Structures are given as structure tokens and as C-alpha cells.
Chains A and B, each alone.
Chain A
Amino acid sequence: MAELKLPVGEEEIRRLKVGDFVELTGRMITGRDAAHKWLMEDVRQDVMPFMKDTLIYHCGPVVAKRDDGSWDFVAAGPTTSIREEPYQADVIGRYGLRGVIGKGGMGAKTLAGLKEHGAVYLHAIGGAAQVLARAIPKVERVFMLDEFGVPEALWVIHVERFPVVVSMDSHGGSLHDEVEAGSMAKLKELLGL
């Protein structure tokens, strides 16, 4: 399994292909529904340095506050990515992201954005909240916690050997398009359509 250190440059990202297994180590940020809307309503300068050349993780974690005031991700699997489809390509372009981690894949606009900006879509296993929380040893800081609440805040996290699969690459390849086309053909056959 290939290891990818974050932050990461465009060249390395362009080498990734659909179907590659990758383990991630380094700093990334979480963000989901409220975050994507917020990121496009204005240029959020304060979070920019935490997004440039790294990944945004579609995740609404369960978080515990420790006695010393630090945060701990108790459960942290991916959420469904397609809800961010209207925003994702623009968020990648505006903030210099090198990719997205989520589940379920994304659509044509994002796929085009990945190609244009040199970014990838990485699929984590949905529901595997314990396996993935163990790969997140440290929470560095959080943005918009009061406004968005725990699941939707933007958490800056450090990951270690965080396991993902490339399911959309920067060359127009999409595992989701392939699976959908195959299942569509089979459905038509089963229903005689």
C-alpha cells in the first residue's frame, strides 16, 4: 500500500489512479454541509493555510473533550459526499485543496474540478468509525464549533496511516461511474427495459 504524506504536491497527486490503496499521514481538515456553504459564501482567510495542499475530509465526528481541554475523536468515519457536489470543485479551486476524502463518490462537476486543479477523491470505508478514529491521533484546532456544532465544525486533525482508496482520479477516471454504468446495464436486463 502506497503512503502519502500531507501536505502533498500536484505531481504526486497526478500519479494516483482509480483503484490505488493509499495510507495518509499528516495534517488535514474536516468539513461537510455547513462548512462547504460557508467556505463559498466568502474567502475564509483564517482557514486557508489549513486547506492548501492537503485534503478536506467529509466527516461529522463524535468528539470527547478531555479534562485538559484537548479534543479526542471518538468515532470518525466519512459522510456521504454527493451533498457537497454543488460546492466541491469551487472549494478545491479557491482553497488549493489536493483532494477530498468521503464516501459514495461525487459527480461530473467535481470530477472535472479534480482534473483541472490536480486533486483526487479518496474513498474511506463508510461506517468504519472506530478503525478510522484510531488513525486520527491528534486534533489540533477547530473552526466554527459554536456556530455549526460538533458534527459540522471544521476540525484540523493529524492522521497516521489513514486508509483510503482512490475512487476518482485527476485524469477523469471514476470507479463510481464504472459501477453505475455496469449496474444500469444489469438493471435493464433484469427488468427487460
Chain B
Amino acid sequence: MTDVGSQVETFVELIRRASTDLPADVNRALEKGRAGETKDGLAERALGTILENVELARSTSAPICQDTGTPVVWIHHPVGVSTRKLAADFTTAVEEATKRTYLRPNAVDTLTGRNTGTGHGRGIPFLHFEEWDEPRIEVRMILKGGGSENVGAQYKLPDGKLRAGRDLEGVRRAVLDAVFQAQGKGCAPGVLGVCIGGDRVSAYEMSKRQILRPIVDTNPIPELAELEERILREANMLGVGPMGFGGRTTLLAVKIGVLDRLPACYFVTVTYMCWADRKAAVSIDAKGEATWLS
């Protein structure tokens, strides 16, 4: 498997799917949230508008949110596939998807303040490549919005103010503080991706990777599974609610990954994904044929 041909159209379709529809499990979690809110209150109405909006976006193939985010992409590939070519195809696809208004031109030259107009720029899109043994390419992408990116946080433990030590209780304290600090500004109800350990770079990448997990799954590490469940329950007791209007639905899910760390460092890194938890995945076989993964 060395040459799979141009993947531009497949990647444009991947972006269209992510930008204009939500995965079924995210939709279900939003519906469940609405059912749990007080009838005709601000929280229920906010979730009602959100669900109506998703339906409209899906039926008209238009972006769910005007902040179509940064494509953050994980690509697994067999030996011999050119990652440079895949990266070039993805970048072309971002430009094409921007032309077709599935994406907003979302890359700004940091020095001049000018929008590049193409959707791509230095470091955008953000592509991770990993070689694997399977004879196919798998592409998994999230579209990460900026409002929620701004409320992400990285804690270094111990933290005296939170009385958070270097253990899972300390992690719980840091993550709940991050949810409080975010209030409604990350477009609650959000999905949290958390990484314990790692360095400042690897930890953010791992925390974002957690967003790829389904809303309802079980962490294979029992103590993390328990912690995810507890933080979700407690975060939803904070009363932040959808959009920060107050209510019972502050988070839809908490997903925690772990990396080993330097003796001196103990980071707790939180990525906040907005309710528009947009993601899509595709498998590409040796002939270049695409199969959509839910």
C-alpha cells in the first residue's frame, strides 16, 4: 500500500460531515439533558434551540456553528504511505471546504492580523500521523472551536489553593475548578478531555484525543472510569447549566487519559469541547476507497 491516489474529495466530505452534523451519541446526550431540565426554563429552552439548530444544519448541510473550528486530525497509516502527500491533500481539502462554506476562513496571520482566507496557515490544520500494522488508513478528526479552546486549562500539582495533591483526588479538584472557571463561556454543556501526566505539549494532545471517544463508553482503567463518572456527576451539581444560564446540564461527558511524567511534573490538562462536539472518521483501503466510520 504505497499510493492511494488523491484523497482531497474524501477529506472534503469528512469535513462536511463533521461541520454539518453531530454524532448520534452527542445528540442523544443533549436530548437527555433537555429532558432533565425544568420545563420552559432558560436551560430547557437553550437546549431546545440547540437541538433545533442541529436538525437544521443536518437537513441543509450547513455548518452547525459559525466557528467551524480548527481541524485536529489523527491519521493512522501503513508503512510506505506518504504522510507528506496526505498532509498536502488535507490542506487542499480545507481550502476547498472553506470555498464551499463548510468551513469559515479560520486562520489568521498572527503577526499581521490578516485572515489567510484559505482556512489553512502555519500550524493549521493540525495533523498527527502514526504508523500501524493494518493495511488501511484511518482518519479521525475533531473540529475544535475557539471559544471552548480559550477555556481549556493546564494545572500543575500540587495546587495549594485547591488543596490538590499529586493523586486522583487532586485531579478531581483541578478538573472541577476548570469547569467552574469555564462557566458558560465554552458553550456548555461541554465534553471534557483530560490528560493526567505528560509534558505541557503531549498532555494537551492526549487531552484532545480523548474527545474522539464515544460519549458513553467505559475507561479500561477502572480507577479512571470511576473518576470520570464522579467528576461528571459533581460538575452537573455546580448549576452552571447550558450556556451558563443555570441548570443541571453543565457537562455531557468526562474522558480521562494518562501519560507518564517527569518526577518533577504532575500536569492535569483539560480540553473543553463545546456542545457542538463535531467529529468524523473515515477508513481508506489500499485502493483508495473510503468507508465512513460512525
A→B interface (CB under 8 Å): 19, 21, 34, 59-64, 74-77, 79-80, 82-83, 103-105, 123, 125-131, 133-134, 147-152, 163, 165, 167, 175-176, 178-180, 182-184, 186-187, 190-193
Contacts and interface: CB of A to CB of B under 8 A. Distances in A.
A61 B105 CA distance: 10
Contacts of B240: 179, 183
* Most chain B beta-carbon neighbours within 10 Å: one of A163, A179, A193: A179
Contacts, number: 166
A179 B245 contact: yes
29 contacts: A60-B66, A62-B66, A76-B66, A77-B66, A79-B146, A103-B187, A104-B183, A105-B185, A123-B243, A123-B245, A126-B184, A127-B64, A127-B187, A127-B275, A128-B49, A128-B50, A129-B53, A129-B62, A131-B53, A133-B62, A134-B56, A148-B115, A176-B183, A179-B245, A182-B239, A186-B239, A191-B176, A191-B177, A193-B163
B104 A178 contact: no
B279 to A, nearest CB: 15
A59 B66 CA distance: 8
Nearest to B278: A127
B245 A130 contact: no
B117 interface: yes
A129 B65 contact: yes
Given A179-B240, A190-B237, A127 B104 contact: no
A19 B42 CA distance: 8
A128 B173 CA distance: 32
Q: Chain B at the A interface: mostly helix, strand, loop or mixed? A: loop
B114 A149 contact: yes
Interface in B9-47: 42, 45-46
B187 A126 contact: yes
B104 A60 contact: yes
Interface residues of B, number: 54
Given A148-B115, A179-B183, A179-B246, A127 B234 contact: no
Contacts of B117: 149
Given A62-B68, A74-B101, A82-B185, A179 B241 contact: yes
Contact of A105 (B53, B64, B103, B244): B244
Contacts of A75: 62-66, 68, 101, 104
B185 A104 contact: yes
A130 B62 contact: yes
A28 to B, nearest CB: 16
Nearest to A189: B237
Contact of B147 (A21, A76, A80, A184): A80
A191 B115 contact: no
B271 to A, nearest CB: 16
B27 to A, nearest CB: 13
B183 A127 contact: no
Interface string B229-242: 00000100111110
A186 B238 contact: yes
A169 B241 CA distance: 20
- 6 tightest Cβ-Cβ pairs between the two chains A and B: A149-B115, A130-B56, A104-B185, A75-B66, A126-B187, A128-B53
B46 A125 contact: yes
A184 B183 contact: no
A129 B176 contact: no
Interface string B253-281: 00000000000000000000011100000
A189 to B, nearest CB: 9
Nearest to A59: B66
B57 interface: yes
Contacts of B129: none
